[in-house]
Structure 1
Amino acid sequence: MEPHGKHLIAGEWIGTDTQFLSDPVQGAASSFSVGTVALVDQAVTAAEDAFWSFGYSSQDDRARFLNAIADEIEARADDITAIGSSETGLPEGRLQGERGRTVGQLRLFASHILDGAYLDRQHDRALPDRTPLPRPDIQLTKRPVGPVAVFGASNFPLAFSTAGGDTASAFAAGCPVVVRGHSSHPGTGEIIAEAVHAAVKSCELHPGVFSLIQGGDFDVGQALVQHPLIKAVGFTGSFRGGRALFDLCAQRSEPIPFLGELGSINPMFLMPAAVAARGPEIAKGWAASLTMGAGQFCTNPGVVVLIDGPEVDSFEATVIDALKDHGSQTMLTKDIASAYAKGRSIVAGVDGVRELLAAKESDDRSVTPSVFATTGENWLSNDALTEEVFGPLGIVVRVKNMTQLQEVALGLEGQLTCTVLCDVEDSAETKALLPILERKAGRLLANGFPTGVEVCDAMMHGGPYPASTTFGATSVGTMAIQRWLRLVSYQNLQDFIA
């Protein structure tokens, strides 16, 4: 399919005079209209109009809408895979799996809201005869916040973008959505927008329920998050971009929630008995996880911490052997590949850091793995090592003992995940470490690797800042719907509300 390159604004495909070109890995570039501040206002105003019906729609109607979007995406499956692979370089199997996840979470949210339990309703009935004062009838529920803005992610063109988790959960809550599409995959965003548009029409919803704005400079994003009718923002992306938008939300005359996921190094702590028993196996698993998807996952395990000893030499040798012949991998954008090269250079330039595996020469969009090693003392004294490098870069941190391992854990900033590799003989050390790690991360794992986030009721995908900007919220799983709701109590209104 050849993209038409227009914005979807409240049911209308609208072009603008200024264009930008996509930068596909393969195939011809396509032209897309550049977003404007005027289009932002048009989309958000329509979203506010839509809220008066969509925000008060039934759970059955919203579930029908979510399932309709899933159906429309599946109906375009082959075209979505083709254009997504062309734009991003992701293999067909990865995109097919991501499409399945996208459709699956839409259907999961649809089923989750049907019984209304997600609203956490409470009812304290009136006690007119209570002394010394009677009690009024009070009912508590949750209501959607209003129109929300969602920024598409570069690394997940389906699951975290146009109709990804933020959009789907906002729809489930009853919030119209204005999406700022990511310029790295505008054609993929467009075809998914067509699927949402078709679902809006088939469900006979107000067209302002959904809009997609492509491209545009920072002023477009600024206009979106600071529009007085936008009541919350969802974002997955870089720390720098997310922090800039977070600050804009806070500077509004009416500050609003900025629900941002900003990144993580996802450290793994290897306990002594586990390393002694299966160090090479763990090393091979880490190498595979580190390079999965060219390391372009927010849960990529970039750091391994373990107590120094002969087993660590074997661990490092196994990692090098697993990665030394690893071929180059295509990054999602040239900018991401450039940022990886810059981050790699920064790590290599830190005193006390050894380069175990150097990256090979590649083109301006491809990379190969890099692995470094350092000591616990050096790690604790160099903040540059704790910065996320988005891509297949790993750091082995050799600590002196369990006390220093805990010091490394205590010094961490907020993380999406922390992982412990342990055996039964490590129980005491693991139990002592967990209270530290649970203050640092939103998800703790044992004997696995953090790449791969299950979409389910119990998932927490978020964490203390700077992993995310709202430590108590998850962007994955059914609890993601809660981000777009607010509590409302109704007093003595039992005759007027359902």
Structure 2
Amino acid sequence: MSFTPHGKHLIAGNWTASDKTFTSMPAHGTAHSFSAGTANHVHAACEAAEEAFWSYGYSPREARATFLNAIADEIDARAEAITQIGTEETGLPEARLQGERGRTVGQLRLFATHIQKGAYLDRRHDEALPDRTPLPRPDLKMVQRPIGPVAVFGASNFPLAFSTAGGDTASALAAGCPVVVKGHPAHPSTGEIIAEAIHAAIQKEGVHPGVFSFLQSNGTDVGTALVQHPRIKAVGFTGSLRGGRALYDLCAARPEPIPFFGELGSVNPVFILPNALSNRAEAIAKGWAGSLTMGAGQFCTNPGILVMIDDPAIDGFISAAKDALTEVQPQTMLTEGIAEAFRAGQSDVAEAPVKEVIASPCEGRAAAPFVYDTDGDTFLANPSLHHEVFGPLGLIVRASDEDQMADIARALEGQLTCTLHLDEADVALGTCMMPILERKAGRILANGFPTGVEVADAMVHGGPYPASTNFGATSVGTLAIRRFLRPVCYQDIPDALLPGDLTGG
């Protein structure tokens, strides 16, 4: 099954073109022309989403679950074409696109099951106490309700799982919120074919067409108009710290401020404790090298900083890491802009007081690994070394002792993940490190590597700023639905007026 994009926006069930266009920049294959959205397109999509909310936001959970499963079915029906166009646009290998498609449909089906169970509603009931003195208590019922239309920004590094029908869209639709997606210009064809799948599911299930709209643009105007539109009640975003912070500020500056759920950046530090280093240096080095270079280092959980207490065993670790990294061939990065930013970030690190461990030629959209080595004093004195370089770049930091390892952890900004490698004899030091790491990250790992985010009930993919803009939320896992709900209390309301989620089980 082949796919040729038509380059139009989907707004409330209609494919709409615009006079202004932009051209895609695929890693290989044919470039295509796409309509660039305008403020009028944003307004039409948001007004349609508001109209759809009056039916979709009050629809039964079973109907929404059926709709989510229908979207998954339509995506699976386009599997071959999605893989073809996705590999052309992004340069990602077929296996990666196939796996990401599986994760995307899996998320949709997971949320379908989750809302059918109903536990996410957090239903509470305090029965009336008419005879209580000195004052009676009214009957109080509480349930989580959808907040209204949601804006979602597609991510550059996950053309499926964090984009058009990714986790933000799936969780918002599960909650009962219509979605307006601003597609990422790095993969507009992939975004379009997924939008077609959602459109087909809308038609199949008879859902209000305003429940989903898809807008394309290679500039900032559409995104700005979207977060500022008064119908939008929350924003989901995965991307750069600079872009996300700009949108966050726009959300806060609105006459009606709205929550901005942004995942912005993380270096995902790995702390290797002394006995683990002494006993397993080679195995840990190989695992770290694989995690560092996975997907050309373009994962938000890429382990960019490695901290160890200075010891001769580090030399063995570095030797094993170099052996593993020299076998990694240059990989195609997602866009020319990302490749340019990687080279610039690598250059900035190289100019700091660091020692080069491994360097690689990087030309065009190709990236190969870089690793640098420094001491704890230098790291603490140079905050610029604490920032994410989006790509396969690692920094080894040699702490002078246990106290400095803890100081390094304290000096780091908020993270998506922190990892400890420890053996039984390291438990005492690990116990001292845990309270620090809990304050720094949304997910803490032991004896593993952070790439490979599990989509599950207990997953937290978020953390203190700048890892995300809301440390109480996650963008992966079923808890993600809570971003698009708000509690409503019903006092002495007759059952006939209550939402079905409070009366129907």
TM-score, scaled to structure 2 = 0.97
Provide structure 2 residue ranges, at least 5 long, that are not aligned to the other structure.
Answer: none
Q: Note the C-alpha offset of 1:324.
A: 2.4
2:177 counterpart residue number: 175
For residues 494 and 466 of structure 2, the distance between their equivalents in structure 1, rounded to whole angstroms, comes to 43
**Residue identity opposite 2:183 in structure 1:** G
2:354 counterpart residue number: 353
Cα distance per residue 1:312-337 (max 9 Å; x no partner): 11111111122124221100000000
For residues 354 and 117 of structure 2, the distance between their equivalents in structure 1, rounded to whole angstroms, comes to 55
**Residue identity opposite 1:359 in structure 2:** S
Provide structure 1 residue ranges, at least 5 long, that are not aligned to the other structure.
Answer: none
Cα distance per residue 1:82-135 (max 9 Å; x no partner): 000000000000000000000001000000111321110101111111111111
2:391 counterpart residue number: 391
Identity among equivalent pairs (%): 65
**Residue identity opposite 1:57 in structure 2:** S
Cα distance per residue 1:419-457 (max 9 Å; x no partner): 000000101000110011000000000000000000000
1:58-97 → structure 2 map (5 Å cutoff):
58-97=60-99
1:254 counterpart residue number: 256
2:450 is paired with a residue whose SS is coil
**Residue identity opposite 1:328 in structure 2:** P
2:45 aligned to which of 43, 46, 49 = 43
2:430 counterpart residue number: 430
1:403 counterpart residue number: 403
For residues 231 and 156 of structure 2, the distance between their equivalents in structure 1, rounded to whole angstroms, comes to 26
Residue 416 of structure 2 corresponds to residue 416 of structure 1: yes
8 Å Cα contact 1:180/1:213 also seen in 2: yes
2:116 is paired with a residue whose SS is coil
1:103-114 → structure 2 map (5 Å cutoff):
103-114=105-116
For residues 65 and 40 of structure 1, the distance between their equivalents in structure 2, rounded to whole angstroms, comes to 24
State the superposition RMSD in angstroms: 0.7
For residues 314 and 172 of structure 2, the distance between their equivalents in structure 1, rounded to whole angstroms, comes to 47
Equivalenced residues, count: 496
For residues 147 and 216 of structure 1, the distance between their equivalents in structure 2, rounded to whole angstroms, comes to 23
For residues 77 and 181 of structure 1, the distance between their equivalents in structure 2, rounded to whole angstroms, comes to 19
Residue 63 of structure 2 corresponds to residue 32 of structure 1: no
**Residue identity opposite 2:418 in structure 1:** C
1:229-308 → structure 2 map (5 Å cutoff):
229-308=231-310
Q: Note the C-alpha offset of 1:217.
A: 2.3
1:410-489 → structure 2 map (5 Å cutoff):
410-489=410-489
For residues 447 and 343 of structure 1, the distance between their equivalents in structure 2, rounded to whole angstroms, comes to 28
8 Å Cα contact 1:112/1:118 also seen in 2: yes
1:219 aligned to which of 207, 218, 221 = 221
**Residue identity opposite 1:480 in structure 2:** A
More deviation, 85-94/323-332? 323-332
For residues 482 and 329 of structure 2, the distance between their equivalents in structure 1, rounded to whole angstroms, comes to 42
For residues 103 and 329 of structure 2, the distance between their equivalents in structure 1, rounded to whole angstroms, comes to 28
8 Å Cα contact 1:137/1:494 also seen in 2: no
1:96-245 → structure 2 map (5 Å cutoff):
96-245=98-247
**Residue identity opposite 2:396 in structure 1:** V
Cα distance per residue 1:167-186 (max 9 Å; x no partner): 00000000000000000000
2:372 counterpart residue number: 372
2:356 is paired with a residue whose SS is strand
8 Å Cα contact 1:36/1:216 also seen in 2: no
Q: Note the C-alpha offset of 1:19.
A: 1.1
Q: Note the C-alpha offset of 1:216.
A: 4.4
8 Å Cα contact 1:242/1:260 also seen in 2: yes
Q: Which runs of 4+ in 1 moved over 3 A?
A: none
Cα distance per residue 1:281-328 (max 9 Å; x no partner): 111111111000000000000010001111011111111122124221
Q: Note the C-alpha offset of 1:25.
A: 1.1
1:9 aligned to which of 5, 8, 11 = 11
1:442 is paired with a residue whose SS is strand
1:128 is paired with a residue whose SS is coil
**Residue identity opposite 1:389 in structure 2:** V
**Residue identity opposite 1:40 in structure 2:** V
